[in-house]
Amino acid sequence: MSDKKSPRETAVRALMKMGGGKFSEAVLSEALDVTPMDSVNKRFCTTLFYGVIERKLTLDCIIGGYSKMPLGRLDHEVKNILRAGLYQLLFMDSVPDNAAVDESVKLCAAFKKTSAKGFVNALLRQFLRDGKRINDSSVAVKYSINPEIYDSFRADYGETKAAEILESFLTPDVTYIKLNNRRFTKDNLPDGFTPTDIPNVFSSGNVNLNSPEFAAGAYHIQDYSCAYACNLMEISGDEDILDVCAAPGGKSFTLAEMTDGTVYACDISEKRLEKVNTGAARLGLTNIRTFLHDGKSFNESFPKFTRILCDVPCSGLGVIRKKPEIRYKNAADFSHLPEVQYDILENSVRYLADGGMILYSTCTLRKAENEDVIARFLENHPEFTAEMRTIFPFDFNSDGFFIAKLAKLRTDK
């Protein structure tokens, strides 16, 4: 069933469904699936939807400064119409100011809020008359982020680097892909893919998931940081690999393309494991076996592995560009994670062969989930050595990422 709506209306309706732990990617995907649009309008809708989420605190600060009614008492529909209108005025240069205002007023009728037309028109036009000024220079408003997240970065890296991290979250990232080198060469890729310093990894500003190349399994989307981590595992020959927390499967796919052995791809979610199976089938990777399994529990049927990937659940504070809703999480949401991460890592050791290596990784920049977890592990496991690296979002215009290469010394000599 389809329903014709403008890209602005579709974006606002999707914004109204956010909250309650919902992921922006899933909400937008559902909205676009039921609304027929050409590619231009889809891009506009996508930009507006993600942009409003990304700049929500900034936009709400403006609304609060002009509205006589407290922000919390505004109708949900009106609030999101204003957010979308203000975002267009501030951050979408391709939209004329008058069009941003007029289309916002029209949306009031689409949402059966005709009584709010005058209010929306007056607020947006007064903002224009005032020169689009934002009268708040606080960190929360400037970077549109929960101050607790900024405080965490500042405690870990200092004020200058913390600001640099937050600035990077407001800049567009680059899309990277991993070539399926088991079946294809770079000649099978469309024009516009640029090689990186990682073998078979390319950057592109225009990845089309509806292209025949993608459908044929020529590549999968994988951020530079993730590909870098996989490359550090130094896979060769036909060794079996354990991917402890595999879903949705990007790293499992890359590892399967690097070995003639089997990748044991585990995850606690059956639904997310379905994505691993679907992706492996598209890529023609028959050497991936999926297991519904909790990384904190020991599976006695598994063999010993010389290579284990331990990409643990984390706060995601390195991927805020891709998941802007993370900006507004509270520090309390993350407090339990170091214990979970340590338990998974500790359990993974039981699968490791002498002389083997575990690659511990997260897509967060919090030291409590990274260096501190590894420090605790090394204190309890002197038989391991560690090489650690943090990749910041501004390093390669990619995800923020932490990697610890944990090598187990041989004890069978």
CATH value at residue 260:
3.40.50.150
Specify the pTM. Answer: 0.92
Does residue 184 lie in a domain region? no
Q: What is the pLDDT, as a whole number, of residue 413?
A: 46
**CATH assignment at residue 62:** 1.10.940.10
Does residue 316 lie in a domain region? yes
Q: What is the pLDDT, as a whole number, of residue 411?
A: 60
Q: Which of 13, 24, 46 is nearest to 113 (CA)?
A: 13
- Domain containing residue 395: 228-408
Rounded mean pLDDT for each run of 10 residues along the chain, 413 residues in total:
76 93 91 90 96 97 95 95 98 97 97 97 98 93 96 97 96 92 92 93 86 95 97 92 97 97 96 96 98 96 97 97 95 96 98 96 98 98 96 95 92 53
* Residue 213, both tokens: 């190349």
Does residue 157 lie in a domain region? no
Does residue 345 lie in a domain region? yes
Which of 136, 163, 191 is the last residue in one of the domains?
136
For residues 122 and 234, state if they share a domain. no
Q: What is the pLDDT, as a whole number, of residue 1?
A: 36
For residues 100 and 234, state if they share a domain. no
For residues 266 and 392, state if they share a domain. yes
For residues 403 and 261, state if they share a domain. yes
Which of 94, 114, 136 is the last residue in one of the domains?
136
* DSSP collapsed to 3 states, the chain: CCCCCCHHHHHHHHHHCCCCCCCHHHHHHHHHHCCCCCHHHHHHHHHHHHHHHHCHHHHHHHHHHHCCCCHHHCCHHHHHHHHHHHHHHHHCCCCCHHHHHHHHHHHHHHCCCHHHHHHHHHHHHHHHHCCCCCCCCCHHHHHCCCHHHHHHHHHHHCHHHHHHHHHHCCCCCCEEEEECCCCCCHHHCCCCCEECCCCCEEEECCCCCCCHHHHCCCEEECCHHHHHHHHCCCCCCCCCEEECCCCCCHHHHHHHHHCCCCEEEEECCHHHHHHHHHHHHHHCCCCEEEEECCCCCCCCCCCCEEEEEEECCCCCCCCCCCCHHHHHCCHHHHCCHHHHHHHHHHHHHHHEEEEEEEEEEECCCCHHHCHHHHHHHHHHCCCEEEEEEEECHHHHCCCCEEEEEEEECCCCC
User: Looking at the 3D structure of the chain, how many domains does it have?
Assistant: 2
For residues 259 and 369, state if they share a domain. yes
Does residue 108 lie in a domain region? yes
For residues 234 and 120, state if they share a domain. no
Does residue 341 lie in a domain region? yes
Task: Compute the distance between CA of residue 142 and CA of residue 48 in angstroms, rounded to an integer.
Answer: 19
Q: What is the pLDDT, as a whole number, of residue 412?
A: 52
For residues 235 and 382, state if they share a domain. yes
Q: What is the pLDDT, as a whole number, of residue 409?
A: 80
Q: Enumerate the β-bridge partners of residue 253.
A: none
* Residue 134, both tokens: 């934002």
Cis amide prior to 248 (ω within 30 degrees): yes
Q: What is the pLDDT, as a whole number, of residue 207?
A: 86
Which of 136, 171, 197 is the last residue in one of the domains?
136
Does residue 154 lie in a domain region? no
Does residue 383 lie in a domain region? yes
401-408/352-362 β-pairing: antiparallel
For residues 257 and 394, state if they share a domain. yes
For residues 126 and 238, state if they share a domain. no
Q: What is the pLDDT, as a whole number, of residue 191?
A: 87
For residues 371 and 264, state if they share a domain. yes
* Residue 174, both tokens: 């680059």
For residues 112 and 246, state if they share a domain. no
Q: What is the pLDDT, as a whole number, of residue 232?
A: 96
For residues 113 and 232, state if they share a domain. no
Q: What is the pLDDT, as a whole number, of residue 410?
A: 64
